[in-house]
Amino acid sequence: MDLNHVDRRRVLQLGGALAAAAGVGGLAGCSGSGDTGAAGSSGDKDKGAIRVWSWQGPAAELKALIPEFNKKYPDIKVTVEDIGNPAIWDKITTGMAAGGQGLADVLHIGVDYLPGYVEKFPGGLADLGPLGATAYQNAFAQGLWETVSPDGKRVNALPWEANSAGFYYRADLFEKAGVDGAALQTWDETIEAGKQIKARTGAHLLGIDKPASQADAANFFQMLLQLQGTFYFNLDGRIALASPEAVKAMTLIKTMNDAGLVSDLAGGWNTLMSSLKQGTAAVLPMPTWFGGVVEEQVPEQAGKWKVRLPPAVRRGGATAATVNSTHLAIAGTSKHQAAAWSFVEFVLTRPASQVAIYKGKGIAPALMKAYDDAVFHEPSPFFGGQKRGEIFLEALKAPQPAVNFTADYARALKLVTDAQSKVLLKGADPAKVLKEAAEQLATQTGRKVVR
């Protein structure tokens, strides 16, 4: 199985590695080339030899674009290396801790890792603004520019992939239970529908990794937060784990679980795939990329599935949220930053490049102009003739705030998953465990709690 989404399975380990590595040495005093990104020459935009680090599917698509790129830039030699995911995060951390030694020129980075690199290794990534990135400030899905340029000055990366929250559901089970999946407006309504589905079909509403056997066990909780326009931290970096929105999200999860509507997905990906094939859950609240997984894993279920944007947390609230994204950055110590930028610009700001990548691996582009292509507006036989691309395009067009993961996301994630497990396995009070988590995070990080 070729995963191209943001993989959080090593984010906890990475958090510790970043902290330790930052103590070893920053970019300011040491680099493989004897200069930093701030002081180094950007080189020639039309020639040079650059290396690119990515993983699996995305790496294959980047390689496939090189012949077309070389028609425009014949004197830039591009080597794409498939480092693997999650191995790439340790490799980038090690390179930055060594002052940039051995780093590739172009780095593929997930949204949950980017702030850690930026905060722990000042100068580790080049500022793309002077290279030309600011010309594309309005070219990407809403909220993403603020994610790569949180201070409005430096541009740390350029958005590539934008995955919106989705609500994939077994239309046949909904029909058997007499529930109209398209009509559900809120998660409270969805819980009531889940009771009907469970009674008439035996299927759970959805599944969660209850003991948090994997670091991504809080993905659904995170989705519910983002649908309310909030996250673990606010844009100032203060802790929002005990906010009314967070309590509402965890209370919804507790209500589902107490009603017997949540199956246990302990064991990670393999358990999720088993659940998918056995039809133990009627709903999969998953991002854009998961549609391709469903088609690949259960082709015999074609026509039984539908997809929509998630119900709102509160009536009339948002149904759109960009729940994860990936980006291309340039190493601050690269001697060929201008040539590297030529490649990044070709890949991420040229609609034809993004359309080719989408056709190859189903990676949803952050570049809004790419969605003019007919491929995003074709009916899907698997999803009953729905135009799946248009459904997620609606989400990308919707107003939504930037998300601040901060360098302390790993710590927050661990505390959240622990709190969720207490709620799911021990019936703990959501407000109480989230308040405790917020206070612990404040102690660990020195950050203020939003009051």
Gap between the Cα atoms of 377 and 105, Å rounded: 35
Furthest-apart CA atoms within the chain: distance in Å: 68
- Cβ pair 36, 333 in contact under 8 A: yes
Is residue 130 a contact partner of residue 343, using CB atoms and an 8 Å limit? Answer: no
CA angle 42/46/49 to nearest 5° reads 70
**What confidence score (pLDDT) does residue 24 get?**
43
- CA–CA dist 147, 179 (Å, integer): 38
Count CB-CB contacts under 10 A for residue 340: 31
pLDDT in tens, 174-208: 999 999 999 999 999 999 999 999 999 999 999 99
Mean pLDDT of the chain: 92
Question: Can you say how many angstroms the Cα of residue 385 is from the centroid of all Cα atoms in its chain?
Answer: 27
User: How much is the pLDDT for 307?
Assistant: 98
Query: Among all chains, which residue has been given the structure tokens 């990670």?
Result: 268
Transcribe 352-415 into DSSP letters. HHHHHHHHHH-PPBSBGGGGGSGGGG--BTTTTTB-HHHHHHHHHHS--------TTHHHHHHH
Structure tokens at 142: 């809403």
DSSP string, 163-219: EEB-EEEEHHHHHHHT--GGG--BHHHHHHHHHHHHHHH--BSEEE-TT--SGGGGH
Please tell me the pTM assigned to this model: 0.89
Rounded Cα gap, residues 388 and 244, in angstroms: 33
- Would you write out the chain's pLDDT as a tens digit for each of its 451 residues? 334 444 444 444 555 555 555 544 444 333 333 333 333 458 999 999 999 999 999 999 999 999 999 999 999 999 999 999 999 999 999 999 999 999 999 999 999 999 999 999 999 999 999 999 999 999 999 999 999 999 899 999 999 999 999 999 999 999 999 999 999 999 999 999 999 999 999 999 999 999 999 989 999 999 999 999 999 999 999 999 999 999 999 999 999 999 999 999 999 999 999 999 999 999 999 999 999 999 999 999 999 999 999 999 999 999 999 999 999 999 999 999 999 999 999 999 999 999 999 999 889 999 999 999 999 999 999 999 999 999 999 999 998 888 999 999 999 999 999 999 999 999 999 999 999 999 999 999 999 999 8
Rounded Cα distance, 193 and 254, in Å: 16
* DSSP bridge partners of 308: 167
pLDDT at residue 2 in the model: 39
The DSSP string of 27-59 is: TTT--TTSS-TTTS----TTEEEEEEEE-HHHH
Tokens at residue 266, please?
């302990």
What is the predicted pLDDT for the residue at 401?
87
Neighbours of 416 (CB within 10 A): 25
Is the separation of the CB atoms in 79 and 109 below 8 Å?
Answer: no
Question: Cβ contacts of residue 350 below 8 Å, gap of 6+?
Answer: none
What is the enclosing helix (H) or strand (E) of 308? strand 305-308
Q: What does the block give as tokens for 144?
A: 């993403």
